[in-house]
Amino acid sequence: MLTAQSITKTFGGNRAVDEVSFTIKKGTITGLIGPNGAGKTTLFNCLAGLFPPTSGSLSLEGERIDGLSPDRIFAKGLARTFQIPRPFPEMTVLENVMVAPLHQRGERFWANWLTPGRVAAEERTLAAAARHWIDFVGLSHLADQPARVLSGGQRKLLELARVLVAKPRLILLDEPGAGVNPVLLDAIVDRIVSLNRQGVTFLVIEHNMDLVMNLCSPIMVMAQGRLLMAGTAQEVRDDPRVVEAYLGGAPA
Ligand SMILES: Nc1ncnc2c1ncn2[C@@H]1O[C@H](COP(=O)(O)OP(=O)(O)O)[C@@H](O)[C@H]1O
Ligand SMILES: [Mg+2]
């Protein structure tokens, strides 16, 4: 699904991501773990095009995507969610879900002007799709409420609905469990598994080890910008380098 070759991202002299290479197999829920500052979010930002990697190459199902804008990468089927989602607070949940694809169409000025009927029809289709995915993530009772009333966990579900409208093939989730109460966390995990059964591939950054170990296979481990290893939950648990990375290099 995704191949990363020697991805490096530097900030000044800091190699936040350092020569990272991996492949994500289609149909997997791949995990990405590592201590704070390991470079996980920076790697996501490179994959999703928020900033281009300093060096290295990325391909999505054989097609190069490094250097493309986030919009172009999103349009090619790679979506990401943020560690701390920031919906538009005064817009409703429904409007927040509709806004990303609408924005792209708004740029098609002549299409709007020449074929207003078709645009209106597309908007109805989009609203229906948005309601479908809002329902899917369990937020339909809040669809017409402003996003500011949502809890942290509900915002994560809203963000999932927002990217699902675009029917992504690969979704990058940055700490879906952080700050989410256990009931909503179950709902999020359930939705991930359901989407995965429908063919969506996932790459998940998560600190909750029980969650990662149960949900993800394989699991990749990063530390200090580098990819330490990748393997099954058991292999990760049994690898002394992983323990050492989490203990900050202290003798085990
Ligand atoms: N926009 C940025 N500008 C400068 N340094 C950054 C930026 N983003 C991340 N870093 C640095 O990159 C390193 C990796 O950070 P990050 O990718 O957020 O790690 P993680 O998500 O694994 O906790 C850290 O040293 C961090 O300070
Ligand atoms: Mg992070």
Atom of ligand 1 nearest to the CA of 44: 17
Q: Based on the domain organization, do 7 and 110 belong to the same domain?
A: no
Does 119 share its domain with 72? Answer: no
| Residue 53 included in any domain | yes
Q: Above 80 in pLDDT, residue 105?
A: no
Nearest CA to 148 out of 162, 140, 158, 134 is that of 158
pLDDT in tens, 107-151: 555 666 666 777 788 788 889 999 999 999 999 999 999 999 999
Co-location of 183 and 220 in the same domain: yes
Distances (CA, A) of 37 to 74, 178, 241: 26, 16, 17
Domain residues for 93? 88-149
In terms of domains, do 76 and 93 share one? no
Let me know whether 34 and 95 are in one domain. Answer: no
User: In which band, very low, low, confident or very high, does the pLDDT at 84 lie, cut at 50, 70 and 90?
Assistant: confident
22 domain-assigned: yes
Does residue 132 share a domain with residue 7? no
- 138 burial via Cβ count (<10 Å: 0-12, 13-18, 19+): middle
Q: Tokens 């109460």 map to which residue?
A: 181
Cβ neighbour number for residue 182 with a 10 Å cutoff: 9
Number of other residues whose CB lies within 10 A of the CB of residue 221: 24
Q: Would the CB of 42 count as within 6 Å of ligand 1?
A: yes
φ/ψ bin of 27: left (φ > 0), alpha (ψ from -120 to 50), beta (otherwise): left
CATH number of the structural domain spanning residue 51: 3.40.50.300
As a whole-number percent, the residues of the chain with pLDDT over 70 amount to 92
CA of 186 to the centre of ligand 2 (A): 22
Instruction: Calculate the average pLDDT of the chain.
Output: 90
* Same-domain pairing of 78 and 6: yes
Alpha-carbon distance of 83 to 50, in angstroms, equals 14
For ligand 1, what atom is nearest to the CA of residue 12? 4
Residues 78, 172 within the same domain: yes
- Check pocket membership of 41 for ligand 1, CB cut-off 6 A: yes
Cα 36 to middle of ligand 2, angstroms: 7
Report which of residues 197 and 245 the model is more confident about: 197
Residues 227 and 240 occupy one common structural domain: yes
**Residue 154 falls inside a structural domain:** no
Give the pLDDT of residue 123. 81
Asked whether residue 138 is domain-assigned, the answer is yes
Residues 129 and 66 in one domain: no
In a domain, 100, yes or no: yes
Distances in Å between the Cα of 235 and the Cα atoms of 86, 155, 218 are 36, 33, 10
In a domain, 162, yes or no: no
Q: Give the torsion sign (CA, 112, 117, 123, 129).
A: negative
Strands (E), 63-128: 63-64, 78-80
pLDDT at 56: 97
Residue 90 zone, left/alpha/beta (φ > 0; ψ -120 to 50; rest) = alpha
Q: Residue 83, class by beta-carbon neighbours within 10 Å (0-12 exposed, 13-18 middle, 19+ buried)?
A: middle
**For the chain, what is the domain count?**
2
pLDDT average, residue stretch 157-164: 92
Residue whose CB lies within 8 A of the most ligand 1 atoms, among 9, 11, 80, 203, for a mutation test? 11
Structural domain includes residue 109: yes
- Dihedral of CA atoms 62, 63, 68, 69 in degrees, nearest 10, equals -80
Residues 6+ apart with CB under 8 A from 228: 34, 221, 222, 239, 241, 242, 245
Whether residues 145 and 28 share a domain: the answer is no
Q: Which of 74-88, 160-174, 199-213 has the lowest average pLDDT?
A: 74-88
Last residue of one domain, picked from the residues 118, 149, 180: 149
Question: Per residue in 164-208, pLDDT tens?
Answer: 998 999 999 999 888 888 888 888 899 999 999 999 999 999 999
pLDDT confidence of residue 102: 45
Whether 158 is covered by a domain: the verdict is no
Whether 15 and 139 map to the same domain: the answer is: no
What is the bridge-based pairing of β-strands 29-33 and 201-205?
Answer: parallel
Q: Is 37 in the pocket of ligand 1 (CB under 6 A)?
A: yes
Picking from 132, 70, 72, 122, the residue whose alpha carbon sits closest to that of residue 97 is 132
